[in-house]
């Protein structure tokens, strides 16, 4: 129940191919998050799975059944829209009951199912109200209620929290995660908020221009991005990329020379040869003070628990550093920073990543 596969699925609007041939397997009960920059095809992908958008070629398979030509209900999916799409003239009760009314469910069952959904979403007090009288978060919950009431195999969410304020978003995030724990359905969730992606997902799918760049668990994407795009997209603030040249290669490590003359050795492996132009990726938090890289801080943001420093290297390249909240640092005064090779990532000129020799299980244990 709720196993979903995309097989060589594509989508074109007129001539423009918005989704390139895509393969994806989603297991039963998984919480999958689609992330990517605006316009990369997340909504289109979701709407194709929902059956709101015809696919141009390929197959969508739910529970071993090709559903290309089935209506959404027949696919066993339900969807929560970014704009809620509540029926303004119906009460909360009727909004939640709508899918049941369509299916001509007997009134006694409607009562039972609606009140159960309302229990889960804490909407009991609001059943008689019209959507116009509810707060944003409550409307969102009504929309979710309408989606869960007919017990679909797969839930689809298109940026459901993007119009809520930060506090409510954090609260709804936790509620959704809890809901997933209770219902155990497969959920597919579109967002461009990284925090939502990292905190909620069992599996993150990173999209760019209609292509899946990488698909894996949040920590896998964080620690072993397969290319520069994913590395730059996951993690906040974004990863720094320092240009470098390979100077030595050993079976378990690669030594590079940064453009400012510093050498460092990274425990990575992959095809390369001496003299290749590469980029070293370092997350802002992986810098430590006292090293060989001289930078001049430009803007210093003090967040209390940490300090974000936007600086420039001596050659003028921008670099972002995150340090402890108590560090005092003034703009314009040169400082020296460094990083450990084992924390850094290495990318070829075409953007693909070298395999890092780190053990994810260990990372998850220590994390």
Ligand X SMILES: Nc1ncnc2c1ncn2[C@@H]1O[C@H](COP(=O)(O)OP(=O)(O)OP(=O)(O)O)[C@@H](O)[C@H]1O
Binding residues for ligand X (CB under 6 A): 13, 18, 36, 38-44, 192
C-beta closer to Mg ion: residue 41 or 267: 41
Q: Work out how close the CB of 203 gets to ligand X at its nearest, in angstroms, rounded to a whole number.
A: 18
Nearer to ligand X, 50 or 280 (CB): 50
Whether 356 and 363 have beta carbons less than 8 Å apart is answered as no
Nearest to 6 by CA among 208, 18, 21: 21
Q: Is 78 in the site for another protein (CB under 8 A)?
A: yes
Of 56-64, 86-94, 195-203, 221-229: span binding another protein (CB under 8 A): 86-94
Report, in Å, the least distance between residue 192 CB and Mg ion.
Answer: 8
**Choice between 206 and 337, CB closer to ligand X:** 206
Q: Which is nearer to ligand X, 192 or 302 (CB)?
A: 192
Nearest to 166 by CA among 195, 201, 188, 138: 195
Torsions phi, psi for 159 (to 5 deg): 40, 60
Q: Are 34 and 16 in contact (CB under 8 A)?
A: no
88 binds another protein (CB under 8 A): yes
Q: Which of 1, 8, 66, 102 binds another protein (CB under 8 A)?
A: 102
- Cβ-based neighbours of 63, under 8 Å, separated by 6 or more: 1, 2, 3, 76, 153
Residue 32 binding result from ligand X, Mg ion, another protein, none, given CB thresholds of 5 to 8 Å by partner type: none
Smallest gap, in angstroms, from Cβ of residue 209 to ligand X?
A: 9
Q: How far is the CB of 39 from ligand X (least distance, A)?
A: 4
Give 24 or 96: the residue with its C-beta nearer to another protein.
96
- Phi and psi angles of residue 76, each rounded to the nearest 5 degrees, phi first: 75, 35
DSSP-based three-state secondary structure for 85: coil
* Smallest separation, CB 134 to another protein (Å): 7
Q: Are strands 31-35 and 203-208 parallel, antiparallel or unpaired?
A: parallel
CB 204 within 8 A of CB 223: no
**Is omega for the bond preceding 339 within 30 degrees of 0, making it cis?**
no
Whether the CB-CB separation of 219 and 367 falls below 8 Å is answered with yes
Would you tell me which residues interact with another protein (CB under 8 A)?
50-52, 71-73, 77-79, 81-89, 98-99, 102-103, 130-134, 136, 139, 146, 150, 163
């Amino acid at each position: 129940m709720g196993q979903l596969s995309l097989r060589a699925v594509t989508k074109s609007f007129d001539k423009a191919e918005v989704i390139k041939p895509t393969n994806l397997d989603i297991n039963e009960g998984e919480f999958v998050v689609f992330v990517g920059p605006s316009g990369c095809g997340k909504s289109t992908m979701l709407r194709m799975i929902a059956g709101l958008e015809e696919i141009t070629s390929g197959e969508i398979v739910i529970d071993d059944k090709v559903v290309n030509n089935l209506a959404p209900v027949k696919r066993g999916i339900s969807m929560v829209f970014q704009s809620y799409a509540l029926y303004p003239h119906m009460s909360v009760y009727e909004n939640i009951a709508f899918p049941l009314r369509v299916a001509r469910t007997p009134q006694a069952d409607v009562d039972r199912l609606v009140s159960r959904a309302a229990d889960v979403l804490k909407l009991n007090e609001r059943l008689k109200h019209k959507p116009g009288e509810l707060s944003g978060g409550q409307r969102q919950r009504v929309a979710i209620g309408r989606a869960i009431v007919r017990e679909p195999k797969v839930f689809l969410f298109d940026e459901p929290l993007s119009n809520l304020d930060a506090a409510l978003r954090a609260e709804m995030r936790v509620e959704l995660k809890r809901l997933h724990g209770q219902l155990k359905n497969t959920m597919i969730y579109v967002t461009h908020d990284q925090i939502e992606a990292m905190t909620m997902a069992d599996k993150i799918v990173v999209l760019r221009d209609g292509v899946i760049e990488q698909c894996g668990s949040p920590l896998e994407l964080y620690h072993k991005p397969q290319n520069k795009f994913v590395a730059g997209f996951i993690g906040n603030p974004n990863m720094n990329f320092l240009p470098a040249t390979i100077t030595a290669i050993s079976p378990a490590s690669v030594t590079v020379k940064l453009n400012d003359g510093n050498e460092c050795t990274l425990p990575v492996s992959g095809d390369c040869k001496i003299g290749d132009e590469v980029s070293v990726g370092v997350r802002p938090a992986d810098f430590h003070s006292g090293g060989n890289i001289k930078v001049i801080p430009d803007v210093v943001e003090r967040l209390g628990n940490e300090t974000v420093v936007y600086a420039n290297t001596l050659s003028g390249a921008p670099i972002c550093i995150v340090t402890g909240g108590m560090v005092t640092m003034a703009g314009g005064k040169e400082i020296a920073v460094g990083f450990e090779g084992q924390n850094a990532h290495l990318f070829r000129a075409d953007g693909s990543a070298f395999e890092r020799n780190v053990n994810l299980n260990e990372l998850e244990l220590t994390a």
